[in-house]
């Protein structure tokens, strides 16, 4: 028997409740690789899955946790053997499939990547899906021509998980980073990550009145979406790109096509879940090289399985600063 955070649903009221329970190996879903999980983390999607599910969870009882890192215990796939350190993100683990809020997990070998050289399991979970996605976003901007010296790069939701990692990576690569936050009290933290200009959320929250504003940003990693993304599109420099990562501020996009037609602005979609294996490795290798570990350490809030019901609600309310690292043992 081992510990897991289990979400149950009352079929009459449809209300869910999450608590740490003892479960056994035969309760885990089928998989080719059994992993002794060391660490997990809390992403926005985890908040949804710890709570009412947000349409992501199909069946209850459910074990959430979209990310985990740990050691292979058994494997029926040649690519992994007992003792190997592995990382799991995406592929709907923690949503459609039981996830990492458990001392053991069973998954397909295809879903795993070897723990990147230069990172331990705890650091890999401090990165997690949020940081992995931040790296994918930076890579997409670079692939579309962004280089240091082109001007400030805007990061929205800067004090959150995606925003914190994106800010630290960009600053380390020599970019001038402007961070949008609705929490002025995080200014010192953001500065420590390398953000050189703090932009107040209110300055970008209003809906678009003019489709084009002054050309301000050479690139943008956007974790917020909604009205803020619409405003930002009209403020991009000629030919610049926005990597659309998240919807913390809304899924709508109340804009016009004018920034695309008159300024050649690019809107780049970033998905971490179905990302092909080769690009996953490329992103993890870049993280190990380009994310300074002292800055990653400054983002970490440690937690245990029993803290997750509260942390799940906190992330949905935009109250998590940086990255939570959950020691499941």
Q: Which stretch binds ligand NDP (CB under 6 A): 53-61, 146-154, 222-230, 297-305?
A: 222-230
Please report whether residue 231 would count as binding ligand NDP according to CB under 6 A.
Answer: no
Cα 139 → chain centroid: 15
Query: Which residue has its beta carbon closest to ligand NDP?
Result: 160
Site string for ligand NDP, 49-68 (x = CB under 6 A): --------------------
Closest contact distance (angstroms) between CB of 76 and ligand NDP is: 29
Site string for ligand NDP, 97-136 (x = CB under 6 A): --------------------------------xx--x---
Q: Which is nearer to ligand NDP, 42 or 112 (CB)?
A: 42
Please report whether residue 146 would count as binding ligand NDP according to CB under 6 A.
Answer: no
> How many of the other CB atoms lie within 10 Å of CB of 234?
22
Residues 5-44 that bind ligand NDP (CB under 6 A): 43-44
Please report whether residue 212 would count as binding ligand NDP according to CB under 6 A.
Answer: no
Closest contact distance (angstroms) between CB of 126 and ligand NDP is: 12
| One of 38, 39, 45, 243 touching ligand NDP (CB under 6 A) | 45
Site string for ligand NDP, 172-201 (x = CB under 6 A): ---------xxx--x--------------x
* Distance (Å, whole) CA 40 – CA 59: 21
Please report whether residue 170 would count as binding ligand NDP according to CB under 6 A.
Answer: no
Please report whether residue 89 would count as binding ligand NDP according to CB under 6 A.
Answer: no
Closest contact distance (angstroms) between CB of 239 and ligand NDP is: 23
- Tokens 């405003």 sit on residue: 231
Please report whether residue 230 would count as binding ligand NDP according to CB under 6 A.
Answer: no
Please report whether residue 259 would count as binding ligand NDP according to CB under 6 A.
Answer: no
CA angle, corner 23, sides to 18 and 100, nearest 5? Answer: 65
Closest contact distance (angstroms) between CB of 18 and ligand NDP is: 18
Closest contact distance (angstroms) between CB of 273 and ligand NDP is: 6
| One of 178, 272, 299, 303 touching ligand NDP (CB under 6 A) | 272
| One of 229, 233, 270, 325 touching ligand NDP (CB under 6 A) | 270
* Distance (Å, whole) CA 328 – CA 213: 48
* Distance (Å, whole) CA 123 – CA 55: 30
For ligand NDP, the binding residues (CB under 6 A) are: 43-45, 129-130, 133, 157-163, 181-183, 186, 201, 223-224, 228, 245-249, 270-273, 315, 318, 320
């Amino acid at each position: 028997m081992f510990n897991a955070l289990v979400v149950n649903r009352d079929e009459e009221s449809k209300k869910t409740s999450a608590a740490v329970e003892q479960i056994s190996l035969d309760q885990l879903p089928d998989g080719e690789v059994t992993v002794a999980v060391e660490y997990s983390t809390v992403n926005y999607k985890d908040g949804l899955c710890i709570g009412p599910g947000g349409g992501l969870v199909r069946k209850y009882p459910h074990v959430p946790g979209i990310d985990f890192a740990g050691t292979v215990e058994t494997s029926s796939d040649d690519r992994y053997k007992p003792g190997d350190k592995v990382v799991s993100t995406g592929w709907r683990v923690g949503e459609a499939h039981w996830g990492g809020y458990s001392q053991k997990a069973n998954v397909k070998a295809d879903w795993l990547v070897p723990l990147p050289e230069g990172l331990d399991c705890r650091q890999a979970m401090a990165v997690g899906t949020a940081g992995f996605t931040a790296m994918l976003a930076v890579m997409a901007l670079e692939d579309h021509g962004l280089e240091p010296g082109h001007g400030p790069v805007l990061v929205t939701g800067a004090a959150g998980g995606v925003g914190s990692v994106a800010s630290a990576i960009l600053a380390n690569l020599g970019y001038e980073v402007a961070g949008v936050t609705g929490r002025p009290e995080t200014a010192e933290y953001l500065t420590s990550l390398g953000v050189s200009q703090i932009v107040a959320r209110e300055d970008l929250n209003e809906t678009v009145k003019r489709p084009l504003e002054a050309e301000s940003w050479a690139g943008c990693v956007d974790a917020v979406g909604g009205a803020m993304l619409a405003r930002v599109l009209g403020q991009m420099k000629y030919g610049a790109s926005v990597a659309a990562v998240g919807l913390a501020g809304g899924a709508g996009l109340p804009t016009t096509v004018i920034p695309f037609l008159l300024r050649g602005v690019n809107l780049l979609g970033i998905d971490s879940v179905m990302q092909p294996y080769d690009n996953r490795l490329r992103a993890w290798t870049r993280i190990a090289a380009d994310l300074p570990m002292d800055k990653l350490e400054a983002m970490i809030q440690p937690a245990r399985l029993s803290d997750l019901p509260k942390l799940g609600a906190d992330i949905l309310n935009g109250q998590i600063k940086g990255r939570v690292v959950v020691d499941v043992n």
